[in-house]
Amino acid sequence: MGDKAAENPGPQIEVPEQYNLAAHFVDRHVAEGRGGKIALRCEGQTLTYSQVLDQVNRVGNGLRRLDVREEQRVLLLLPDCPEFVAAYFGAIKMGAVAVPTNTALRAPDYAYFLDESRARALVVHASLWPQIEPILGARRYLRHVIVSGEPKAGCLFWDDWLGEQSAALEAAPTSRDDIAFWLWTSGSTGFPKAAVHLHHDWVYCCENYARGVLGIGPEDRVFSASKLFHAYGLGNALAFPFHVGATATLYPGKPQAKVILQKAHEARPTLFFSVPTLYAAMLQETDAENPYDLSSVRLGISAAEPLAAEIYRRWKERFGFELLDGIGSTEVLHIYASPRAGRVRPGSTGQPAPGYQVRITNEAGQDLPRNQVGDLWVRGESTAPYYWNRHQLSKERMQGEWFLTGDKYYQDEDDYLWYAGRSDDMFRVSGQWVSPIEIENALIEHPAVLESAVVAHEEENRLLKPKAYVVLKQGWTGDDALVQALQDFLKQRVTPYKYPRRIEFVKELPKTAAGKIQRFKLRGDVSKTNTDAA
């Protein structure tokens, strides 16, 4: 690849050769006099940075007493709660590798995760025990199971185990380039794979994006609807606030629109993180009346899927604050391109964040002119060096300093990025490329449509035509008349060959845990995935 990427150096970030992620994000605040500052709020429980450090140290000591060694994996199967924070930082601080894992899966999925990670220890919440108990006996590498919530026969009980450990722990002398944690990512094909992340990675996300774009500071209060087991949520609700000494509110339950609105109303956050699907659902919850006060929020952040311009406009009109729609990935760890406050162009994912460069190329890796759709590449210091146990894929996607995202984009003359779709979601109609996102963004402007997904459908003549799956707002009925109305509506907004010849009304769309629509499932490509990890 030639190199025409615009320079966007960002702040000078100096990470010492000997560096432990947990010491920076937890110990540092106590050492610098912020031990009494509230770090976490969760379901009536409040923990200061000193109390978090106490738990982190006890976890680290407990793992060492179980003979968990440096670089061995510790699988975390926990809801968003203080136990997650202690287990994540505790494993990293003693030199092990933390592996957060989706809490909404099935027993066979967890068997795969345990075997693939070769986890020496598992920390699991009792609510997930029915999915874990049947698979424990056949796990080759697993030696210890620690259960929180309530005791389980044959396992260590979190409360007792923690109470037996020392609250003093010196951080393992890890280097900035040692492995600190894994994050699972499934993309659209195959079993989930682990993006391997290093001790220094979070610092670059925190300085370049959280501070450089969001302006996060110690007085901020953050609340994220996205969960800690996912890269987006892990940054939102843990890395970002703990980098600057801010306060995070955690919610362990399922992110449903009404509950998230109520939690945000109560928590009074200044930074609010969610995904487009949930933003749309929250708007529907407030259509008739709006009892929720979000006036404390100075910025809302959206990621995982592109945010439709119509959702942005409706949200800002109703709640009064901007939504910054960014693009990120598990491999790059968090958002690497985003609008800036006051400079949002609805429908765009903004400009590269400080410290990140992007390029758009054709299939041969040659840079494309402005306003031409191509493959999006990104480089930045937070990018994972490789996928665990995926040598060929690592070579294909991680080429030198550059990562091939799998997204189709174009960049305008002002460096704003515009999403055209995933590479494997694009298709041709009448010889012309069709971007599902263009049709979906047009559909959501209709007052009946809550959300939609567009895929290629093979007609009887073997030609591909667009097909739309539509979730309706409350009070609307999906019938032939509405199909015709939606088609007529679209013909006024997209070129004629792009309008869906078929429209099917569904109750919900298949999504990953991060809120990404799984269009391959709508196409019927069930062989492409085995587990929803991302």
What is the Cα 374 distance to its own chain's centre? 23
Pairing of strands 464-472, 502-505: parallel
Q: Is the pTM of this model over 0.85?
A: yes
User: In the chain, which segments carry CATH 3.30.300.30?
Assistant: 431-528
pLDDT above 70 as % of the chain: 95
**Alpha-carbon span 71 to 96, nearest angstrom:** 5
**Alpha-carbon span 70 to 92, nearest angstrom:** 9
Cα–Cα nearest to 473, from 257, 268, 309: 257
Which pLDDT band holds residue 40 (cuts at 50, 70, 90)?
very high
Over residues 134-145, the pLDDT tens digits come to 999 999 999 999
Question: What is 203-422's CATH number?
Answer: 3.40.50.12780
Cα–Cα nearest to 123, from 20, 197, 229: 229
Which pLDDT band holds residue 7 (cuts at 50, 70, 90)?
low
Measured from the Cβ of residue 139, the count of other Cβ atoms closer than 10 Å reads 16
- Tell me what the mean pLDDT of segment 329-346 comes to: 97
**Alpha-carbon span 49 to 39, nearest angstrom:** 5
Contact 197, 381 (CB under 8 A): no
CA distances (Å), origin 121, targets 64, 96, 257:
11, 10, 34
- Compute and round to an integer the Cα radius of gyration of the chain: 23
Mean pLDDT of the chain: 92
User: In the chain, which segments carry CATH 3.40.50.12780?
Assistant: 21-174, 203-422
Q: DSSP 3-state assignment of 11?
A: coil
* 21-174, CATH topology level: Rossmann fold (3.40.50)
Q: DSSP 3-state assignment of 81?
A: coil
Homologous superfamily of 431-528:
ANL, C-terminal domain (3.30.300.30)
pLDDT of 6 reads 53
Contact 300, 226 (CB under 8 A): no
Q: DSSP 3-state assignment of 154?
A: coil
Q: Any idea which residue has 């990562």 for tokens?
A: 403
What letter would DSSP give residue 308?
A: P
Residue 431 pLDDT > 90: no
- Tell me what the mean pLDDT of segment 391-408 comes to: 95
pLDDT of 188 reads 46
Phi, psi of 504 (to 5 degrees): -120, 130
